Amino acid sequence: MKRYLGYFMVVVAIVPVAMFLGMHEIAFFTNTFSKDNQALAPLGYMLTGGGVFVWIGILLWNAKSGMQKAVALVMICVCVVGALATALFNMYTNTMYDAGFELTKSDIKSMTLLIGVLAIVHMVALIMELAGEQIIQAWRDDDGDGIPNWRDKHDNRQDRNRPQQQQNQQRPVNQNANEVHMAELSRENDRLKAENNHKETPPKA
Ligand SMILES: [Ca+2]
C-alpha cells in the first residue's frame, strides 16, 4: 500500500511540473514554427520534455549494453536541459511581449539554433542507440594494422596463423618424400648387393 502511495506522490510531484514546463515548451515550438507548421509543435516537445519520459523508458526497458544505457542517460540530461531552455525562453519572450518588445533577430536565431542542436543530438543518440555497437566495431582495428575494420579487406590475423597451417599440411608430403627416398635407397642397396654376390661367386670352370 505504502509503495503505491509512493508512486502516487511521484506522479503528483511530476505531473504539474511536466505540464507547466510542457505548455511553455510547446508554446516555444509553436512560436518558432511558421503558421503552416504549427501542428508540428508537439513533435518539438518530443525533443525536450516528452523526450525525458521517452529516454527514461528506453533506459529502463530497452537499453541492454553499457553504451545504450550511457546514451539514454546522457539523452535524459540533454532533454531536461532542452526542456528548461525552451520553457525559460518562452517565458522570456512572453515577458518581452507583455512589456511591449518585439523579438529581436538574435532571439529568433538563438531559438532556431537551440532546436537545431536538440534535433542533431537526438539524431546522433538514436543512431548510437540502434547501431552504436556495430558502428564502434566498424571503426575498431581488430588485426592492429592501422586500417579500420570497415575498409580493411584483409584480416592479418589469418596470416599469422597460416605459416603453421602450411607446415602442418606439408609434413605428410615430406614424410612421403622421405619414404620414396628410402625405398629408392633400399632398391639401390639390393642391386649393389646382387652385383657383389655375382662378382664374389667364382665363375665355374
Ligand atoms: Ca585492420
Coil/strand/helix, residue 92: helix
* Residues 199, 117 share a domain: no
182 CB contacts (<8 Å, ≥6 apart)? none
Query: In angstroms, what is the span from residue 70 Cα to ligand 1's centroid?
Result: 27
Query: In angstroms, what is the span from residue 158 Cα to ligand 1's centroid?
Result: 12
pLDDT tens by residue, 103-112: 788 888 888 8
Least trusted range by pLDDT, from 19-28, 67-76, 104-113, 157-166: 157-166
* Residues 103, 9 share a domain: yes
Query: In angstroms, what is the span from residue 131 Cα to ligand 1's centroid?
Result: 20
* Residues 195, 96 share a domain: no
* Residues 86, 119 share a domain: yes
Q: For all residues of the chain together, what is the average pLDDT? A: 86
* Residues 188, 98 share a domain: no
DSSP code at position 103? P
* Residues 202, 112 share a domain: no
Query: In angstroms, what is the span from residue 159 Cα to ligand 1's centroid?
Result: 13
**CA–CA distance, 28 with 21 (Å, rounded to integer):** 10
* Residues 55, 128 share a domain: yes
Whether 149 is covered by a domain: the verdict is no
* Residues 102, 63 share a domain: yes
Query: In angstroms, what is the span from residue 64 Cα to ligand 1's centroid?
Result: 28
* Residues 62, 106 share a domain: yes
Residue 47: burial class (beta carbons within 10 Å; 0-12, 13-18, 19+): buried
> How much is the pLDDT for 80?
93
> How much is the pLDDT for 164?
65
Q: Is 177 left (phi over 0), alpha (psi -120 to 50) or beta?
A: alpha
Q: How many CB atoms lie within 10 A of CB 175?
A: 10
Whether 103 is covered by a domain: the verdict is yes
**CA–CA distance, 46 with 29 (Å, rounded to integer):** 11
* Residues 169, 134 share a domain: no
**Residue 15 belongs to what domain range?**
2-139
Query: In angstroms, what is the span from residue 121 Cα to ligand 1's centroid?
Result: 30
pLDDT beyond 70 at 203: no
DSSP code at position 62? I
Whether 37 is covered by a domain: the verdict is yes
Q: Are 26 and 60 in contact (CB under 8 A)?
A: no
Domain boundary among 139, 168, 191: 139
16 — pLDDT class (breaks 50, 70, 90): very high
Q: Count up the domains in the chain and report the number.
A: 2
Query: In angstroms, what is the span from residue 166 Cα to ligand 1's centroid?
Result: 23
Q: Are 116 and 91 in contact (CB under 8 A)?
A: no
> How much is the pLDDT for 5?
92
Element at 16 (helix H, strand E): helix 2-32
* Residues 16, 74 share a domain: yes
- Percent of the chain whose pLDDT exceeds 70: 91
